[in-house]
A and B are shown apart, each in its own frame.
Chain A
Amino acid sequence: MQAGAPTTASAPAANPPGQQQPRSLGRRILHAFLYQRELTPIVITIGLFVYFWIRAGSTFTDSLSLSSAAGYAGPVAAIAVGEVLLLMLAEIDLSAGQVFLFTPWVMYWMHNLGVPLWLSILIALVVACGVGACNGLITVGLNVPSFVTTLAMNFILFGLVLIYSDQTQATPIPMSSSYTGHISFAGQLMGGYLWSEILWVIAITIVIHVMLTRTRFGVRIIATGGNLLGAAEAGVPTRRVKVACFMLCSFIAGLVGIVDAVKYGSLDPGNFGVDYILYAVGACVIGGTALTGGRGTVIGAFIGAILIGILEDGLTLVGVSTNDFYVWVGVVIIAAMALNVQFDRLIARSRGT
């Protein structure tokens, strides 16, 4: 959601103040879609949901199916929510998917070394933040494009996992049911409960949304991404804002990565994080975030991930092969981006610029 309220952001500058023309319902709906970018993916997601519900019936809406949709969407949504912050800064983090995979490894290694579990988790999260800090400091300090910085970081983290895992699976993961035989409350919270991962992601989405739209830090992100020089001149610490966002993105990815690892009970060193990133950036775009900076919506990114999750789960249920799924994801991403660009043109034209 943008900072400006939809009903008020509308008055074109050419209108004399105070003169509100009554608008038809059609225009108002068009207007809502123009200024509330989350609306389009929400409508499409609901449409897909209804479609699969009709096609697959209650097998689609039972909790097993829905939880598997949430299982697809959760990691993508977690990474997408952090990624939105960077896209708003006209930066990108290609390593967040690998951080998602790497962080639980750190926890696992620490725990195997005899470090108490809570401390292992804490160390893993600090490491995740450290990775983000490295991404940020290299990007703003050495003027390396973040695309390159984080691409390299992705390889480094992947290599570290291969080296220190001896290329063998990590199992069982502490707290998971296979580790203790039963699931403790902490285990439930950290991923054991069927819905815990998606609940974590929903909570994170809400927190980041509030941060972006209601706090000074959010204003600073929009300012830094919208007009880097202008923001610096107005006294916004743009470099600090960027580094903080890289850290936040890594932290979220790492946290949900641990939850995901506990959920599945094992870690595979061969997993490559780029898969997640591509879906996550796709989710951001579907949600209405431009890659040019200054504009973005966390809610939209979340919805975009849910859309991808429903698509994957639904297509599987109606018996379409997984191969088709990729085609559909591609079509949806292009359609979403084209729609966004056209919306921007419509806005510009309505202002007479």
Chain B
Amino acid sequence: MTDAAPPAPSSVEHALEVRGVTKRFGALDVLRGIDLELGQGEVLGLVGDNGAGKSTLVKILSGLYTQDGGELRVGGERVNFHSVGEARTHGIETVYQDLALIPQLPVYLNLFLGHEVTRLGRFRFLDKRAMKRLARQYLDEIHVRVPNIEAESDQLSGGQRQAIAVARAVRAAPKILLLDEPLAAMGARESRLIIDLVKDLAASGRVSIIVIDHNYAHLFELCDRINVMQGGRITIDQPVHETSLEKLTELMISSFRSQLEEV
């Protein structure tokens, strides 16, 4: 199964290592032994058909699901996540495809959801003034523009909402950022907003990123390396500068054939 994957190019500590991870839902083998490495500061693209298991893998990495078998290592340390909180304490933040903003909350509270600035100790009163100030400052810093941070988030465009969702994940200063189809259902200009944001982040070198997307043009622009998932396994692992869309397609077809022959 790892025949298509060349050995990892460097022996330095990976930001994230996935070894033989499996997951079943009832009679369905969704993940059949995932092997994956994410280098420090690397941007890894993950593609595959619907049902290939990409989202399941992301949910395991972000702590929403726990894997049935195999192991996860973050910065070399073996980990097992049973909650989103545990994944977070290991520096993993996730942006989901379903725009995890709360429509009824203003932008700045969405930005701080799960990391609210509070005062008066155990009463956990919101420090709204501090959060608004920090939100403005922070959104300026990462060049995200919204008309009004006190507006409820369902008044924003899809691109602006996704930008806030990415900004929220990045604000927590993660070591690893998981982007699950961040460009789904987004227009060209809005996609550009998010792509630039992710490129800026990648250029900072402080965060390693996994991006799931269906658009190869986007992935070739964003990523250092592309992994292809087919039938619950990673079947292809190619550095972007050594491959092209044609070559990748060819590899995918041949690996699909060999899978058919196995059956």
Q: Is B106 an interface residue (CB 8 A)?
A: yes
A235 to B103 alpha-carbon distance, docked (Å) = 17
B residues near A351, Cβ cutoff 8 Å? 155
The answer to whether B118 touches A216 (Cβ under 8 A) is yes
Q: Is B52 an interface residue (CB 8 A)?
A: no
Which among A11, A223, A229 is the interface contact of B98 at CB below 8 angstroms?
A229
The answer to whether B126 touches A5 (Cβ under 8 A) is no
Take A216-B126, A223-B105, A227-B100 as given contacts and tell me if A232 and B155 are in contact as well, using a CB distance cutoff of 8 Å: no
Q: Is A16 an interface residue (CB 8 A)?
A: yes
The answer to whether B114 touches A3 (Cβ under 8 A) is no
A235 to B116 alpha-carbon distance, docked (Å) = 11
Chain B's closest residue to A296 (CB) is: B104
The answer to whether B101 touches A230 (Cβ under 8 A) is yes
A13 to B100 alpha-carbon distance, docked (Å) = 19
Which among B88, B104, B125, B147 is the interface contact of A2 at CB below 8 angstroms?
B104
Q: Secondary structure of the A side of the interface?
A: loop
A residues near B105, Cβ cutoff 8 Å? 3, 219, 222-223, 226
> Which of chain A's residues 327-353 have a Cβ closer than 8 Å to chain B?
351
B residues near A294, Cβ cutoff 8 Å? 102-104
The answer to whether B88 touches A17 (Cβ under 8 A) is no
A residues near B104, Cβ cutoff 8 Å? 2-3, 222, 225-226, 294-295
The answer to whether B113 touches A219 (Cβ under 8 A) is yes
A12 to B148 alpha-carbon distance, docked (Å) = 9
Q: Is A182 an interface residue (CB 8 A)?
A: no
The answer to whether A219 touches B109 (Cβ under 8 A) is yes
A28 to B156 alpha-carbon distance, docked (Å) = 22
Q: Is A9 an interface residue (CB 8 A)?
A: yes
B residues near A5, Cβ cutoff 8 Å? 150
Take A12-B155, A215-B126, A230-B98 as given contacts and tell me if A3 and B103 are in contact as well, using a CB distance cutoff of 8 Å: no
A219 to B109 alpha-carbon distance, docked (Å) = 8
Chain A's closest residue to B120 (CB) is: A215
The answer to whether A216 touches B124 (Cβ under 8 A) is yes
Q: Residues of B within 8 Å of A, CB-based: how many?
A: 37
Chain B's closest residue to A223 (CB) is: B102
The answer to whether A230 touches B151 (Cβ under 8 A) is no
Q: Is A217 an interface residue (CB 8 A)?
A: yes
Chain B's closest residue to A293 (CB) is: B104
The answer to whether A229 touches B147 (Cβ under 8 A) is no
A233 to B113 alpha-carbon distance, docked (Å) = 10
The answer to whether B101 touches A216 (Cβ under 8 A) is no
Which among A11, A17, A214, A235 is the interface contact of B114 at CB below 8 angstroms?
A235
A residues near B64, Cβ cutoff 8 Å? 232-233
The answer to whether A219 touches B126 (Cβ under 8 A) is yes
A234 to B84 alpha-carbon distance, docked (Å) = 8
A215 to B102 alpha-carbon distance, docked (Å) = 16
B residues near A215, Cβ cutoff 8 Å? 118, 123-126
A235 to B113 alpha-carbon distance, docked (Å) = 8
Take A219-B105, A226-B105, A230-B100 as given contacts and tell me if A13 and B123 are in contact as well, using a CB distance cutoff of 8 Å: no
Chain A interface residues toward B at CB < 8 A: 2-5, 8-9, 11-13, 15-17, 214-219, 222-223, 225-227, 229-236, 294-295, 351
Residue pairs across A and B with Cβ atoms less than 8 A apart, 23 shown, are: A2-B152, A3-B109, A4-B106, A8-B151, A9-B151, A11-B151, A12-B155, A13-B151, A17-B147, A215-B126, A216-B116, A216-B124, A222-B104, A226-B102, A226-B103, A226-B105, A229-B100, A230-B102, A232-B64, A233-B94, A233-B100, A235-B88, A235-B113
